[in-house]
Amino acid sequence: MNDIAAGHGRHVIVGLSGGVDSAVSAWRLKAAGWRVSALFMVNWTEDEAGYCTAADDFQSARAVCEELDIPLHRVDFSAIYRRQVFDHFLAAYAAGKTPNPDLACNREVKFGPFIDHARRLGADCVATGHYARLAHDTHGAHLLRATDENKDQTYFLATVDVERFENVLFPIGDLTKPEVRELARKAGLPNHTRHDSTGICFIGERHLRPFLSRYLTARPGPILTVDGRKVGEHAGLWAYTLGQRRGLNVGGQPAAKEAPWYVVDKDPARNALIVSQHHDDPRLLSNTLGIASFHWLHRPAAFPVTLTGRVRHRQPLQAVEVHLTGKSGVHAVFATPQRAVVPGQYLVLYAGEECLGGGEITSVGAQDSVS
C-alpha cells in the first residue's frame, strides 16, 4: 500500500524515530490528507556508556511533531526487544555465528507489537520510514525494492510475515535519499540536517568486541596460520568473523610477507582462529548455502528456479539457483563464489524487483563442492 494519496482523513500512525526519513514520511502523509499521529518506540534502555541515542532521538521526534502539529505517543518495547532480539543475538555469537539483529527487530518488534499497539491507538494504517515499496493484488502484499537502490531496505524486511504488510505505508520508498533531505529542508523540518543513525541502538558507534565482552565469557586461544604455525592469541572465537582483517594484531611476522591477515576459519575443537594473507583464500569462498527454514513472502511456482539474491545489505544482487530441501529448507547454488559467508547471516531472494523472502544461513559449502 504505497498510495499515500488515498488518505482522505483516515488515521495513520507513523513510527517516528527522530531521523529525517520517518519525519519526511509523516510530512508527506499529512500533506496528502491523512490524519497523522506519531509513535516513538523505546527498544533499549541500558545507556550507562552514553552510546544509545534514544533520549536525543525522542527530543528530535518531539520537535518534528511540534513542527507538523501532530500528536506523539511513546511506547517502551525494551523488554520484548531484550527477549526476542538481543538474547538471540548473544546466543548466536556464543555459538560462533554472525547474526543480524535488524531482521529480527523488524519481525519481532516493528512489524509485530508496534503495529498491534498502533491499532489499539485507533490507526487505520501504519507507516515507517523504510526505503521499500509495496504493491497489492489478489495474492496479498508484495514487497518491492526501493527506487534508491543504495538505500533499499527490503533485505531487513524479508522475514516479516507478509500479512503484516497489509495496511502499511512506506511513504519514501519512491524517493532517493537526497530527495528526502531536500523535502525535509523545504518543509522546514528541524532535523533535516541530522546525521543518519549507524549500527543498532545497543551498540551504536562503539566497537562490537568490547561490548560483547560484557555479556560473553572470554576464552582466549591461539591464532594459527593455515599450515598450523602460531602467530598470536585471540580473545575468544565469538569475537571474530570470517573475512575479518582488523583487530587481529598479528602483523610483523618474521616469516611472512608484508600483507594483511584475514580470518579464514575457526576450529572450535582446538579453540583456534585460522588466518591467511590471501584475500581470496579458498576457505573464504563458497558456492552453496543451506537454509534450514526459509521464510517465503511469495514462493515461486516451481523449483529449481533461478533468482537473484544477496547475503548482505547493499551487496549487488547475485544470480542463484534455488532448490527446496525438506519441509521448509532451501539449498542455494550461486553462479559466482561468495566471499566470507557464515552461518547466522541471511540469504534474501528476489525475482526482478520483488523480494520473495529470506532465511538464516545454517550451512556453507566450499567453492570446490559444486560440480
Which residue type, as a one-letter code, is found at position 319?
A
In angstroms, the CA 290 to CA 338 distance is: 13
Active site residue 105: yes
Residue 302's alpha-carbon distances to 28, 96, 299, in angstroms, are 40, 34, 9
Over the chain, what HEC string results? CCCHHHCCCCEEEEECCCCHHHHHHHHHHHHCCCEEEEEEEECCCCCCCCCCCHHHHHHHHHHHHHHHCCCEEEEECHHHHHHHHHHHHHHHHHCCCCCCHHHHHHHHHHCCHHHHHHHHCCCCEEECCCCCEEEEECCEEEEECCCCCCCCCHHHHCCCCHHHHCCEECCCCCCCHHHHHHHHHHHCCCCCCCCCCCCCCCCCCCCHHHHHCCCCCCCCEEEEECCCCEEEEECCHHHCCCCCCCCCCCCCCCCCCCCCCEEEEEECCCCEEEEECCCCCHHHEEEEEEECCCEECCCCCCCCEEEEEECCCCCCCEEEEEEEECCCEEEEEEEEEEECCCECEEEEEEECCEEEEEEECCEEEEHHHCC
Q: Please tell me which residue in 65, 105, 125, 355 is annotated as part of the active site.
A: 105
Q: Please tell me which residue in 52, 65, 125, 201 is annotated as part of the active site.
A: 201
Active site residue 65: no
Residues annotated catalytic, as ranges: 105, 201
